[in-house]
Structures are given as C-alpha cells and as structure tokens.
Chain A
Amino acid sequence: MSDAVATTNEAPLLVLDGVSKRFGGLLAVSDLHLVVQRGELRCLIGPNGAGKSTVFKLIMGFERASSGRITFDGARIDSWPTWRRARQGLSIKMQIPGIYPELSVHDNMRVAAQYHVGGGQMEESIERLLARVGLGGMSRALAKNLSHGQQQWLEIGMALSVNPTLLLLDEPTAGMGPGETEATARLVESLNADGVTIMVIEHDMTFVRQIARKVTVMNLGRLFAEGTIAEIETNRGVTDIYLGRT
C-alpha cells in the first residue's frame, strides 16, 4: 500500500516529507524535510516566527499541511484528526498551558489517561507519574492553584499519561526559574533514557546544551541547519540568523 511505510525498528519514527503550510499569503512552513529516529532527543530551535510551533501543530493535527506528507510509526497521518494521532502514540505539551484549571491535579491526570490506561491501573499510574514530575502528594490540589512551574510539570505528566511513542514539548521551561529549568532538563533526559522519543522546542540555550544530542535549526519556515549542539553553536549562519544578520 502506498500510504504505509514498512515498520521495523530501524525505520524512522517520524518523517516530514516536503511539508508546507500556507496561511493566506504567509508561507509559515516551506518544503520541510525532517526525520526523527526512534529514541532520539531532538531540539528544534530558531528565531521567533521560524515556524517551529507550526511544525508541532502540523504533526499533532491542529493544522493540516498545505502539501507534503507526514508519516508516523509506519502510518501516513497527515489527513488524520488529532484524536486519532493521539491514539497512535503522539503526545504534546503545548506552549500555552493546556491544563484544566478547574479540575484537581488528579482529575487532570485521569482525563489525560482514560484512553490509554486500564481502569485497574489508573490510580497507581497517576500516583507514579505525579511523583515522577515532582507533584507527588498534590493530587487533590486544584490545577489553577499550582505555581507556573508546577503547571508545566503537570502538563508534562498529562502528556506522559498517554504512554506516548513521540512526545512533543513546546517550550517546556518557559517562565521557569533556573532551579525549575534544571529539574525539567533532568526529567526530559530521564524520560528519553526510558525510551520515549522526544522533540523539544526551546529558546533557553543552557537547557538545549544540557539535553540535546541533535539540534535542528529552522528559519523562515525552512530547515536551516542540523547537527550536534557543538556544530550548531559554531555555525556562523546560525549566529547570524539569531542576531538578525540575514
């Protein structure tokens, strides 16, 4: 079948093949080719307006690509609705906090986990994940009463509740202090060590330096550079686009 790609452990987990997204006259993403292997911890960086968040929206299905194809875990998903992609193993922590402020921490986690965790394991799974994201013992608090950093962690916990194959984190440390950023970096690394493939959009270069094995740089909707963090940091072109010299 032409829509399917052979699924082996060696096959890439996610492939964006010539993906473009046009909003009226604006080409937000232009002919993007991006391949993410299983087990990767990939950082996506670039100046504001580079199209990073749009790429996440295209992967998750909030927006449909104007052209190109997206393949995930052996299936072509670019025409699928978001919920179906979620059941296939995609999960996201959004840039704008996507928690349910009026529900308790426990109920936030339950809502996220319902399609992915059996009823019998629900409570144990919630406790385990909350402990992992540093919210152990807080399950009865209302989500809106958590600090900003704790809300971000709750959202990561919710994103993990779906047992994702690929976890998309859009600016997970936005608004966090140095201590919280450090803790988040350790969390992301440990999740990756457990086998979750992760893509992170981040502006905080200290964070990127700490976690990333491979970095993709986007500029003006295009893939600008790709390489190790050392290669990227010494790339003259990358410093230029960040300083607005292109």
Chain B
Amino acid sequence: MANAAEWDEVRPVSRGVSLLKAENVAFVLFLAYLLIYPSTTDDFSIGNTAYFMAITLMALSLALIWGKAGILSFGQTAFFGIGGYLFGIYTLNVLGSGATWVGILVGVMAGGIVAAILGYFMFYGGVNDVFVGLTTLALTLVLQTFMAQTAGPEWAVGEARLNGYNGMYVPQISIGDAPLYGRPLYFLYLAILIGVYLLLRWLSSSRWGYGLVALQENRPRTETFGYNVRLMQVQVFCLAGCIAALSGALYASWGSYIDPSSMGLTAAITPVIYVAIGGRRSLTAAMISSMILLQLSQSLASSAPEYALVIFGVLALLAVLFVPEGFMAALFSAIDRWVFRRARVDPGMGTGGVSSETPRVG
C-alpha cells in the first residue's frame, strides 16, 4: 500500500482547476432541472422555456464579448436580427427538407460576417472601450430604422417579404416536412444552448481565453507577450456575433416571426441588463440568471407590466453600485469561500517583509 508521502506526490496540485466549485455544481443542477422539466409541465410552458433558451444564447454571446473580452457591445441585438431575418429569407426561398437547418447556418454566418467586417474596421482602426459601445449601438439603431421602412411590396428578397413593422413570416425548423415543436424542439434548443455554453467554457480556459482576460485588463502590455491583440478582438467579436445570430435564428423560427422591434433600443439594452445582474464574467451566472430573469420578466408582463422595467432597472442599478461582479457570480464566490473553502487567491500575502514605502534612491 502506498504511504502518505507517495500519495502526496501524485496528487494534482489544486490551483483553481478542481471541478468542485459552485459554478459547476450550479450548472449540473441547472441542466438536470431542464432535463426533467418537460415531464413535469404542460406544452405551453415547454414551448415557453424553449423561447427563453433561444434568447439566453444572446446573453451568452454578451458574457463572452463583454465579460471575457471586456468589450461592451450593444450590437448583439443587431446580429440577433441579422440571424433571424437571414434565416427567414433563406428558408422562404429555398424549400425542401433540410432547408431550415441550412437556414440556421446561413443566419449564423451572416451575423459572423457582418461582425467580422465591423470588428475589423473598429479594432484595426483603434476604436476601443466606450466607443465600441457607441458604434455598435449605432449599428443596431440603423438596422432597426432600415427594417422599419420595408413595409412596401418592393422590399422583398425573392419570395421573402420583409414587411416592415408588420413583421416577416418565418418557417419553423423541420425534419422532412414536419415542423418541430413541443418536446423535440425543446430538447434541440437545450442541446444547442448547452453545446454553445460548453464550447465557450472550453475556449475560456484555452490559451486564447487567457489572452482575452489579459487584454481586457491591459491591451498594450498583452501585446508585448506576443498576443496579436487586434486580431483576437476581431475573432471574439465575430464569434459573439455568430452566437447572437444563432439566437436570432432560433428565436425567429420558434415564433415563425421576426420584426424590427427585436433590434430596438430596449432590445439592445435588455441582454446587457440581464448579464450585468447575473454576472458578466461568469458564463454560468449569465446563462442561469438570464433564464430566471426572462421567466420573471414574463410573469411581470402578465401581472404588473408597468413595474417590469422599473424592477429590472433597480436590480441593474443595485448590481452596478453594490455587486459589480453580478448577484449570481457573487453568490458563487460566497459558496466557494464558505462551503468549498477554495478561495482562489490568498489575499494579504503581498506584504512579506519588504517595504513598499521606501523612497527611491538616487
């Protein structure tokens, strides 16, 4: 039998890589709940939750671009709209089985291409920080204004009438000729949401993900370690654009409908509020809190619609003022500290022996 000393040698060093932490436990519980949920409820709630999952993808795209890369984008809604509209335009023109699946890919690619082009001009042009927020907000509002005036019959792409504020009819995702709805659709959306989440978790722990965190703190410094900072900014902006466009395509297909209000000012700010309340730096916190807040928003819309925006505004304000890391992310850290006792860092270790106050010599 191995003695204690040998055992110590082979045990991996715990340095924030252990899987037992609040974030992971919360994810497993969240996934288990969503897997069981359809067998406990009616078809309406199942469809409704599928809609939340489609929108939550946009929260994930924002947690990536804002939380991981420090780029606050109001453009996710624009990519959401591009994804939705392009999905509709493609599937209305190309009929046949499998067209809706290709349509999703077309929507995602369109969002990614627009994001890559905009990202290239912004980041290689030296646009950063608050100006990215302004530029992306402008993109969103320009797209909304443009789509709003497409009511006339001259605004059509092949068979697809854009229809302005009347909205565009969009086909549902289907297998063969049978549209997906109910439980199959729910599990498809769940698989996509979890797939994107896991992809982003994996990317965050990669060399690229570490680089993103570094450039968020100090761009010029990060470049001196060999990171092609501007290219990385374009890459992450493009990826976030793809995910937002996926969100838009799934949303449009779910409701068979999309209109320009999905790209308005309120639509642009809502995901930012969800992610700020939950915690932008944690993909898990952003995902779970977005699902909870969407449910809350819908409940309020039926019982007390006049308070819904006020309540979210107050929550966002409280988060920004008192819990800048976000309520759910703060809860995760607290559980890590008190339950799992795995503070990632040892605060206060930095004063060992040498004084920092001695004035410079010479």
Contact = CB atoms under 8 A, between A and B. Distances in A.
Contact of B361 (A83, A162, A206): A206
A180 B224 contact: no
A150 interface: yes
A175 B224 contact: no
Interface residues of B, number: 36
Interface string B342-353: 001111111110
A111 B350 contact: no
B361 A86 contact: no
B226 A83 contact: yes
Interface string B7-39: 000000101000000000000000000000000
Interface string A134-165: 00001111101111111000000010011000
A207 interface: yes
B227 A83 contact: yes
B269 interface: no
Interface stretch (A15-23, A92-100, A211-219, A226-234): A92-100
Contact of A140 (B225, B345, B362): B345
Contact of A175 (B207, B348, B360): B360
Given A82-B220, A116-B226, A177-B355, A100 B350 contact: no
Interface string B314-358: 000000000000000000000000000000111111111011101
B224 A60 contact: yes
Contact of A110 (B210, B226, B228, B348): B210
B221 interface: yes
Contacts of B355: 147, 149, 177
Contact of A158 (B220, B225, B344, B359): B225
Contacts of B350: 138, 141-142, 144-147, 150
A179 interface: yes
A62 B351 CA distance: 33
B43 interface: no
A181 interface: yes
A46 B244 CA distance: 54
A204 B361 contact: yes
Contact of A112 (B225, B349, B356, B358): B225
Contacts of B217: 100-103
A219 to B, nearest CB: 18
A147 to B, nearest CB: 4
A237 interface: no
Contacts of A98: 218, 220-221, 224
Most chain-B CB neighbours within 10 Å: which of A84, A102, A111, A204?
A111
A178 interface: yes
Nearest to B210: A111
Contacts of A176: 358, 360-361
A147 B351 contact: yes
B223 A204 contact: no
A173 B228 CA distance: 30
B345 A141 contact: yes
Contact of A142 (B213, B347, B354, B361): B347
B344 A104 contact: yes
Given A114-B207, A147-B354, A81 B360 contact: no
B229 interface: yes
Given A102-B217, A145-B347, A146-B350, A86 B358 contact: no
A101 B211 CA distance: 15
B222 interface: yes
Given A98-B218, A145-B349, A146-B350, A115 B360 contact: no
A91 interface: yes
Contacts of B344: 104, 140
Given A60-B224, A140-B346, A162-B226, A106 B356 contact: no
B13 to A, nearest CB: 7
Nearest to B214: A111
Given A86-B226, A176-B360, 16 more contacts: A81-B228, A82-B223, A86-B225, A102-B217, A104-B345, A111-B211, A139-B15, A141-B346, A145-B345, A147-B354, A150-B352, A161-B225, A180-B354, A203-B362, A204-B361, A204-B362
Interface of A: 60, 62, 81-84, 86-87, 91-92, 94, 98, 100-104, 106-107, 110-116, 123, 138-142, 144-150, 158, 161-162, 173-181, 203-207
28 contacts: A82-B224, A83-B227, A83-B228, A86-B224, A98-B220, A100-B214, A111-B214, A116-B225, A140-B344, A140-B349, A141-B345, A141-B350, A142-B347, A147-B350, A147-B355, A149-B355, A150-B350, A161-B225, A175-B360, A176-B358, A176-B360, A177-B355, A179-B354, A180-B358, A203-B360, A204-B362, A207-B361, A207-B362
Interface of B: 13, 15, 207, 210-211, 213-214, 217-218, 220-229, 344-352, 354-356, 358-362
